[in-house]
Copies of this chain bind each other. A is one copy, B any other.
Amino acid sequence: MSPENPFLNHEKKEQERQAKRDAVLLAAVKIFNEQGFHSTSLDDVAKSLGISKPTIYHYLGNKEQVLLTCVEIGLQQLIEAAKDVEKQSISGFEKLRRFLFLYGCRNLDDFGRCVILTHDDALSKEGLVKFKALKRVVHEALLNIIRDAQLDQSINAEHDPKILAATLTGAINWSAKWYNPNGVLSKEETIQKMVDILTYGFEKK
């Protein structure tokens, strides 16, 4: 038998730690989304995993820190989506459509929904600063995509970028409140239909 490699061992332990942390986050985000942050206690989360509350503290911290990690994951997904889209060699119009599609799909994931369903009053002052800073990164990325699309003249240049951004994201954000995962349409089908409406409007051509 070969001697145990201490480096591999360390890596394995780190993977295990990460897997446990991820499991706590996934359990927490589902319960936050279902019951609301105020009505959820870390005991509920611990119980759902058959672990103790101190185990959660060990991996993630207190309830607000768990929530903050969840919304950070949700917002980081949107930041990644913007980066992916910006790299593509397509028109500004197509970039905007693709970003909205990805934004909408992430938005209906557990962590994305948590971002939408988290109200400012769930967070402490410091937590709110972090939450808003990340949201601002997403907002700025969207504004850049819109401005580029206006510059390459692939979208209508007369719209105020800020109002356009707020209209588009508002429509999609709200879907985290009404989308029914047990309905006929998949998340992707639903978001695609919304993006088509937002892109072309409802005017008859």
Identify the A interface with B (CB < 8 A): 36, 38-39, 93, 96, 119, 121, 153-157, 159-160, 163-164, 166-175, 177-178, 185, 190, 193-194, 196-205
| Contact in complex: B166, A174 (CB < 8 Å) | yes
Q: How far is the CB of A149 from chain B (nearest CB, A)?
A: 8
Q: Which 9 A-B pairs give the minimum distances between C-beta atoms?
A: A170-B174, A201-B201, A171-B171, A200-B201, A170-B171, A167-B171, A155-B202, A167-B197, A167-B194
Q: Is the CB of B175 within 8 A of A170?
A: yes
Of B93, B154, B170, the contact of A170 (CB 8 Å cutoff)? B170
Q: Does the CB pair A202–B159 fall under 8 Å?
A: yes
In the complex, chain B residues whose CB is within 8 Å of the CB of A193:
159-160, 163
Task: List B contacts of A199 (CB < 8 A).
Answer: 201-203
CB distance from A112 to the nearest CB of B (A): 15
| Contact of A121 with B36 in the complex, beta carbons under 8 Å | yes
A198 partner, pick from B93, B157, B160, B167, beta carbons under 8 A: B167
Contact (Cβ within 8 A) B38 A121: yes
A163 CB, min distance to chain B CBs, angstroms: 5
Q: Is A156 within 8 A of B204, CB to CB?
A: yes
Given contacts A155-B204, A156-B204, A199-B203, 19 further A-B contacts (CB under 8 A): A36-B121, A38-B121, A93-B204, A96-B202, A153-B204, A155-B203, A156-B202, A156-B203, A159-B202, A164-B202, A166-B175, A166-B194, A168-B197, A171-B174, A171-B198, A173-B174, A174-B174, A200-B201, A201-B203
**A39 to B120 CA separation, bound complex (whole angstroms):** 12
- In the complex, what residues of B have CB within 8 A of residue A172's CB? 170
